[in-house]
Amino acid sequence: MYKKYLLPLILSVLCLTLFTGCSKAGADQYVGKELADIKENGAKEFSQLLEEEIAENPENFTLEFPEELKNIYLAFLQEAFNTMEFEVQEAKETKDNTYSVNVSFAPINFAATLEDSDEAYASSLSSVDLVSEVTALLKKDEKILETEPEFDREITTAITVTKKEEDFQISSEEWKLFFNQALQGYMQPYNKICELLDAYDFMQAYLDACFKGEVTQFAKHTDRTEEEALAWYETDVFDPPADLSSAYVDRYVAASKAIMKQCQYTVGIPKKDDGLYSFTFNITYTPNLGFQKTMEDMENGTFYSMEAVSKGFVETLEKYAASPAYGEEASMPVSLNLTNMLNSSQDDGEFQKLGSAILPTE
């Protein structure tokens, strides 16, 4: 009697055990298969990971992450992911059709692997093209990752797997959490180059705003609107001499702007100095002698009224606006740091000295 009912019960328990065991085994096998596939083909979550980082980029840099770099950077992420070995452990069922699969691995250490090489490359950039410089560095870094990767200590992280009907699934959010652990610090190569070129872009934008009134990029760097940046450019610089006849004020301003727009300078690729935000540039310039020559001509002239002085002064400025006069090319090292930026308006500051060298007035 008991045997009659005991046999079906034993079979039921056995089947339940077998099917549960298959599901658990299937969950960890699924994780292993997915990891192998990501090594081979990458993952859409790499794109999501990169997009999230790009969205945070304005907090660090004014330069935008170039669209042309995205696929190149995704290939770099996959190369880094391929350096790691993953040990997938037995799945544990946490609730119906939900499993926790522990994966042990040693995350790639980007700093230890690439810091010296990235630092050396950044110290000798050959251009200010962000796309070409980052691309070249990533190709170099991929070779290092392939041959000399260094890793952090081994960690174990849990991946949640769900089963729907006969299919296992891992959510995108679950993968992103996993990739954030595996690929922490992956923006190092980009940041290393962009830090320098962002500083370069600021210096170029600052000089262009000061001398040429081209304020679009300067406004971005200084969190101003373009209208506010243009007002900054106009303030004090074009105030006419106190005794200039009012009839000549507009011509004075127009001639002064024209002379300033013709200033010639080239911003060198910066070198990173010690400190939070500290760079050194070599600025090459050809002095624009328009104002200086105007003053010399006026000193050598003879005038019998203030009206004649105003007329002669403005006409001389207009002459040098139409036919610029330049001195000999020279260069000057300039530091860009928080102290210099705060002291940029002081007469003995480096920025003021640079301005006086580019556009001498006496």
- Compute the radius of gyration of the chain from its Cα atoms: 33
pLDDT at 9: 38
Report the pLDDT averaged over residues 240-244.
90
Quick check: 221 and 215 in contact, CB under 8 A?
no
pLDDT at 13: 37
Where do we find the tokens 């599901």? 23
Q: Which two tokens stand for residue 284?
A: 């090459």
Residue 20 predicted with pLDDT over 70: no
Considering the chain, what is the average pLDDT of its residues?
90
- pLDDT tens column, 205-239: 999 999 999 999 999 999 999 999 999 998 878 88
pLDDT at 268: 97
Alpha helices (runs of H) in the chain, residue ranges in sequence order: 2-41, 44-56, 70-82, 110-122, 130-147, 172-182, 188-207, 216-221, 226-234, 249-261, 290-299, 306-322, 338-342, 350-358
pLDDT at 238: 83
**Residue 24 to residue 30: CA distance in whole angstroms:** 10
Residue 321 predicted with pLDDT over 70: yes
Lowest-pLDDT range of 17-21, 70-74, 99-103, 200-204? 17-21
Quick check: 283 and 265 in contact, CB under 8 A?
yes
Query: pTM for this structure?
Result: 0.87
pLDDT at 237: 80
Residue 35 banded pLDDT, cuts 50, 70, 90: very high
- pLDDT tens column, 270-292: 999 998 889 999 999 999 999 99
Quick check: 197 and 130 in contact, CB under 8 A?
yes
Q: Which residue has the higher pLDDT, 82 or 15?
A: 82
Among 294, 233, 284, which residue's Cα sits nearest to residue 261? 233
pLDDT at 69: 97
Q: Which residue has the higher pLDDT, 254 or 239?
A: 254
